[in-house]
A and B are shown apart, each in its own frame.
Chain A
Amino acid sequence: MKNTGNVIKYGDNIDTDVIIPARYLTTGDAAELAQHCMEDLDSTFKSRVHWGDIIVGGWNFGCGSSREHAPMAIKASGIPIVIAKSFARIFYRNSINIGLAIIECPEAADAICDGDKVQVDLDTGEILDVTTGQSFKAAPFPEFIQQIISAGGLVEAVKKGLVR
């Protein structure tokens, strides 16, 4: 499956408190959470994000709390994919579980610039920066995690008996 989108780029240690501040955690409604996504870090995010855009981050993306509200807010903002140098582990699990595609690729995260058009092949892990012509390859997910992703997240995986 190939996705193409424009990049919104951030730095290292993007924490869950800036992705979705705790003052908005009184709801589990993804669309409502998306209204406040990134607002403490980047007040322009909400106005410039378009459906299909890709977030590129640095090291330790999603560090901090376990709130699943963080990947939910990103996904509901229209972002299907986050590429980063590394992900904090709970954010990593949560993203897989809710079906937000995440790709760990330090080279791509370094080279890709804000505003670049990027094409990502989730099956092969190939990333093409259409703007610059550079291409990158991320390591594929372990098989069990691929099964969760292809089932459509952990809820579907449990329903299909992958966890028993």
Chain B
Amino acid sequence: MGMTMTQKILAAHSGRAKVEAGELVLANLDMVVGNDVTSPVAIKEFEKMGATQVFDRDKVTMIMDHFVPNKDIKAAQQCKICRDFCGEKDVTNFYDVGKMGIEHALIPQNGLVTAGDAVIGADSHTCTYGALGAFSTGVGSTDMACGMATGKLWFKVPSAIKFNLTGSLQKYVTGKDVILHIIGEIGVDGALYKSMEYSGDGLASLTMADRLTMANMAIEAGGKNGIFEVDEITLAYLRERGAKEPVIYRADQDAQYDRVIDIDLSSIIPTVAFPHLPENTRTIDKVGDVKIDQVVIGSCTNGLFKDLAEAASVLQGRHVAKGVRAIVIPATQEIYMRCLEEGLIKTFIEAGCVVSTPTCGPCLGGYMGVLAQGERAVSTTNRNFVGRMGHPESEVYLASPYVAAASAIAGRIAGPMEVL
């Protein structure tokens, strides 16, 4: 019996010729990631382990992104713990204000992960780098500490769902709509403990940005990781970002899958996830009349240049509806700069949006856009749980940048065709 892409990467990283679903392996790690919320707990556990140095100073990445620039004294203390630790251990990839970006946008951008890598991060959206053909998964702080100290971590080898993609996306349809559609179909635990493996002719029509968004939300289907078959688009991206030499793992012809799901990309239409679960999806034609108070365009899910360019194409020459607050957050400094150079920032500000420095802030109800009781937001982020963006009686509707921008203009959930 053959292996899936994920199984091959785990086998190669644990010195095994072959692994099977359900086996426990101890795998060598190529990168260990943490942020300003999870790293302070990991640092405490790292010290409890009696560790004195990180296993490899080039293979630990710590990014201050959740509550920076420091939202309050406690957040400032958390960042200081990380800053002091990385200084003391001489960690190469420490990203502070000025250099930082949202971790899952910054790491691919800076070429810190390549195809074939095994990566853990103390952030659930670490699964994003599966878009690059890496095995990448979110863990907790103690796992991060173990990874920093030993360069290894235990994994249960996952079984997989194969997504066989065909066709190509219609205009105004994005990777976000595809992944929301998938989560709507299989549910928030539809891929529990499993890999979500993407392949098929349809891959050719998906940009890296679309793939990063789709891999990013594997966790919202309960998945251990999402992973894309490496193709020319992946390789060109890795070269452009200066990533190290990729190692390509392809699934065996006789690899076993729990399920194979065929998706014709041309059949997907803009999709919105209603409160309070990402699986509560409705296509844009069935959303009804939902008035909104806020729009957030950004996050590790949809804060890339392509996402912001899509939003800007809708907002260009139009204005945010009265009573709606629209917050745009480029995910990294480089993306911010490109938005500035290509006139997107001007478009956003003229349309009545506010543009923020990179931060995870509003996505998790931290700061920079917290919702009041009874308020509703359309957001390009990834979760719409109770209280996710603020008051427990507020509501979050997840959507693509096109839909978020159109909704900002309409003052209610709307598709781009309704305002263009």
List the interface of chain A (C-beta within 8 A of B).
13, 15, 17-18, 21-23, 25-28, 40-41, 59-60, 63-69, 71-72, 86, 88-90, 93-94, 97-98, 142, 144-145, 148, 153-155, 158-159, 163-164
Contact = CB atoms under 8 A, between A and B. Distances in A.
A66 B49 CA distance: 21
Given A64-B385, A159-B49, A154 B67 contact: no
B386 A17 contact: yes
A56 to B, nearest CB: 17
B139 A66 contact: yes
Interface string B289-316: 0000000000000000000000000000
Nearest to B77: A26
Interface stretch (B35-43, B209-217, B258-266): B35-43
A144 B26 CA distance: 10
Contacts of B383: 15, 17, 64-65
A39 B93 CA distance: 36
B139 A90 contact: yes
A68 B121 CA distance: 12
A27 B74 contact: yes
Given A15-B385, A28-B44, A40-B387, A63 B146 contact: no
A63 B75 contact: no
B277 A155 contact: no
B87 to A, nearest CB: 19
Interface stretch (B185-193, B233-241, B247-255, B340-348): B185-193
B322 to A, nearest CB: 29
Nearest to B23: A142
Given A63-B188, A90-B139, A155-B45, A23 B124 contact: no
A22 B49 CA distance: 27
Interface stretch (B5-13, B147-155, B171-179): B147-155
A64 B146 contact: no
Interface of B: 24, 26, 37-38, 40-41, 44-45, 48-51, 66-67, 71-72, 74-75, 77-78, 121-124, 126, 138-143, 145-146, 149-150, 152-154, 156, 188-189, 192-193, 219, 222, 224, 277, 364-366, 370, 383, 385-388, 392
A45 to B, nearest CB: 13
A121 B394 CA distance: 41
Given A66-B139, A153-B142, A163-B146, A17 B189 contact: no
B222 A89 contact: yes
A22 B193 CA distance: 24
8 contacts: A13-B188, A18-B387, A66-B124, A67-B37, A93-B143, A148-B154, A163-B152, A163-B153
A97 B222 contact: no
A26 B72 contact: yes
Nearest to A96: B142
Contacts of B192: 60, 86, 88-89
Given A26-B78, A90-B138, A163-B154, A66 B123 contact: yes
A23 B67 CA distance: 10
B364 A22 contact: yes
A164 B124 contact: no
A146 B301 CA distance: 36
Given A67-B38, A68-B141, A90-B139, A26 B386 contact: no
Given A59-B189, A163-B26, A163-B152, 8 more contacts: A21-B387, A22-B388, A25-B37, A25-B66, A28-B141, A60-B192, A67-B37, A155-B49
- Top 10 nearest A-B pairs (CB, nearest first) are A26-B74, A94-B140, A68-B140, A22-B364, A97-B142, A60-B189, A40-B387, A66-B124, A40-B392, A28-B41
B145 A155 contact: yes
Contacts of A15: 383, 385-386
B143 A154 contact: yes
A28 B144 CA distance: 15
Nearest to B149: A158
Contacts of B66: 25
B41 A60 contact: no
A163 B156 CA distance: 15
Contact of B366 (A22, A72, A148): A22
Contacts of A28: 40-41, 44, 78, 141
B146 A158 contact: yes
B40 A13 contact: no
Contacts of A158: 49, 51, 146, 149-150
A154 B188 CA distance: 28
Nearest to A21: B387
A72 B193 CA distance: 22
Contacts of B41: 28, 68-69, 72
A18 B365 CA distance: 12
B65 to A, nearest CB: 13
A156 to B, nearest CB: 9
